[in-house]
Chains A and B, each alone.
Chain A
Amino acid sequence: AQRVTQPEKLLSVFKGAPVELKCNYSYSGSPELFWYVQYSRQRLQLLLRHISRESIKGFTADLNKGETSFHLKKPFAQEEDSAMYYCAPHAETGANNLFFGTGTRLTVIP
């Protein structure tokens, strides 16, 4: 089973401070991971995926196979970044059972 864990349910940072939302995965093979964001009263939306290696809204995430991590980072948090963030595995061909991260609620304090 492809499993990811997000150890922090809640994270608060001050505006302008760096932010890192942790995500660890625990399966072998070639993991393909996504970060999704859900702003208050909005639907879930894709933030970024690791294979694209792009930066969205100032967020980046690097897949670290040695540490089996895919942490989401942003150097300077903004108030509008306050949201729920989910780290999610991708359903590889032939694999069953995905275990999503339980989400981290980020609050950026003005």
Chain B
Amino acid sequence: GAVVSQHPSWVICKSGTSVKIECRSLDFQATTMFWYRQFPKQSLMLMATSNEGSKATYEQGVEKDKFLINHASLTLSTLTVTSAHPEDSSFYICSAERGGEDTQYFGPGTRLTVL
């Protein structure tokens, strides 16, 4: 149990377009979901924390108007990269916490390439 999926697994888009990435907890309800970004040769960087039904909490330096997060249900959170630019090219990874547990279950990641 405790499987987290992400869709798409990879996406290539043109500069200026928006891209939506979905994160789903397949077999449990996730009270909290996290969005991370990983640049080449670097560690995971937390972008934001989202709780179902409330606004996401963004880390310092992460533009909330650029990275729109919606956590509309207990099994789905979406990250939309608006007006993407080549510097947004990265690996985006989500994780989900099951209610009452202090454990994160990670998705397989989404590789975004902006041309």
Contacts and interface: CB of A to CB of B under 8 A. Distances in A.
Contacts, number: 57
Contact of A102 (B34, B102, B105): B105
Interface in A67-88: 84, 86, 88
B91 interface: yes
Nearest to A95: B111
B69 to A, nearest CB: 16
Interface of B: 2, 9-10, 34, 36, 38, 40-41, 43-44, 46, 49, 91, 93, 95, 102-106, 108-109, 111
Given A90-B38, A96-B10, A98-B109, A103 B104 contact: yes
Given A90-B41, A102-B2, 10 more contacts: A1-B108, A44-B44, A44-B95, A46-B44, A84-B104, A86-B104, A88-B106, A97-B9, A98-B106, A98-B108
A97 B108 contact: yes
A84 B93 contact: no
A84 B103 contact: yes
Interface residues of A, number: 26
Given A44-B46, A98-B93, A102-B2, A91 B109 contact: yes
Interface stretch (A21-29, A30-38, A53-61): A30-38
A109 B46 CA distance: 30
Interface in A87-110: 88, 90-91, 93, 95-100, 102-103, 105
21 contacts: A34-B43, A38-B104, A40-B102, A44-B34, A44-B44, A44-B46, A44-B104, A49-B43, A84-B102, A84-B103, A86-B104, A86-B106, A90-B38, A90-B41, A91-B40, A91-B111, A96-B9, A96-B111, A99-B108, A100-B106, A105-B103
